[in-house]
Chain A
């Protein structure tokens, strides 16, 4: 698809819709809305700069902007917190960057029917600060909890660290208001009714509008689940002499069937080595601890106390050593920002350099974890040796399924990349490394991405492979809803929907 250059009349029309203060054409405004924390081809920054930034404040604004864009065939890229670890919010075809952060109001708190309705630009930490006085909370808890926002969580179908108990974003969104690529405003839920959780009427459209990376429309209001604030958050960390034992113990803990179990996270040996690089990255453990499991239980005192007793026994019986309250509580409390800071980056000669962070987030079944981990580290090792700008920060495996934290895991290999050395050759090397990692996930019947989305090079080209016949349906839906391919074009290989005529 060719990009239509924005003309002054379009800018004027946008100003007419939003008021001049909400239409930004300055270069800095546009440059700062191109990148996300994922590794970025910084040497090619200028290729991703949108032509105009708009800051809508309500649904009507969004609808008018999208109608205008559809009339003139101008790409629209919705952007939330810009904290994603894939390229959902990166404008590949320039156009209009629609920044939703000014849509951050709480519209209604319904304590009887247990919902809160918000605009999508609100951050979860801020939302929960306001909900605290009602003794309820919105339990969507990603690593980016202090900075990501509800709209981005919906656009990417986010992963919550405590989903074993409370569910992920898609389980916590009851219904939404969505502006379609043609500008119509619709309500989607399980059926009708903003606060209805279960329905058999019609198609279940809600999930179609979660995780589409802004390619099918823009969420402008969301009605979210409220749950009672837990009386107890019991974190328990266990140490193991080797990965093999910890892996088996992970399986046993995850399958315990205890309803208050919110999360099981397995750290492989490379991850523990990485965390030993300095004394703040992780509370130091004796050398015989080479693999770790972090767990957390949430709920009432009456639930968690007896469950924890049984849980600790399972851990002990499968070779785990409880690492104590200080490590468990302290490390769980700092789970949002402890693990990936650029300063932990090391070159092969041990030199410290600031590295940006690639976080792989494949979904892998339990039985394939050891093999996938082994192959991923081999791939990383090869590129570290050859290019001198990469670093292997180890693997995490998070229980992936909502309410039933067993069976499959969000498998994460963290790779540091020295972005200051980024050029065409290094970027190509990185994308090739990424492709090799992705191929392993697919080889073992996994999914490319549990939560970041498959919107970047190294992932996107595998979407048709992973989706199979479903990809044909995706293309038909995309074209039916977005006849002019204006919504976040270039993502997920969906351009193919328009090439086959």
Chain B
């Protein structure tokens, strides 16, 4: 069942319509069990005990009826890479040795990591921007698990976590944002500094220390203690709203000041995707970013926004190998990636410049 979940082509499923700027919303709750040392200090036998306690705790939860639980140990290198590329597990969990696990729902909207940095990392994710429903689900899941285990909790400090930066609510709320306007107008650094001052962190596509390929950034709360979950979400939301506004202003300005150059870039991106023969993933990300931008401007049909989002993930090295069905070396990968993109973009139209002026 695990392989059918991760290799399942999401294009066949009914997906909510992709919207401009915000790609996806996620909430992650860090929790630990009482009486066990945190994973970083635990013996393998203790980790195994935590793993089985957590797996039995979720077995009674209705929303997890259609889910699989797997030990990370039992997954191949490629499977782990796929999960990282789909943003379901952290690169850290993919590297762990014995005694860690994953609980993943069939629709991939929920993935619980067991024995990562904390005993439990409960994650709920959705396309688009939707904190209220994501929080509702994460909260319910957390309460369900809590009814079967005893969490490490302190009246003053809240949920106790391995790293004090997660203390309190243990909550990291984040959105994946597509900000090509701010990147092209060279305003991103300014924006990062400004939101940092508000206790909001900006990271690259794959979290801490990763590049912001394709102008995609992860925006999340930095602080977890001293505020309620709803106050954190509210603060993050208002920052996001202003980021969306600034991104849209930057786009408008680019279109006004440098219209021909911008249109040229987007047109060439479509052209390259139609005709390429070798394509590295970083270049693909940048071209797809321009395609998404053109769809936002109304210069490409709406469906190309959703296609770009799917391709952002499918051009990653693990996914290219998954669709090839065998391990492939990087140069062959570039060829396969190019073929995949050509296939999807072969009928892409010329940019429609009538709708915007």
Q: Do A and B come from one complex?
A: no
Task: List chain B positions with a Cβ less than 8 A from chain A.
Answer: none
Task: List chain A positions with a Cβ less than 8 A from chain B.
Answer: none
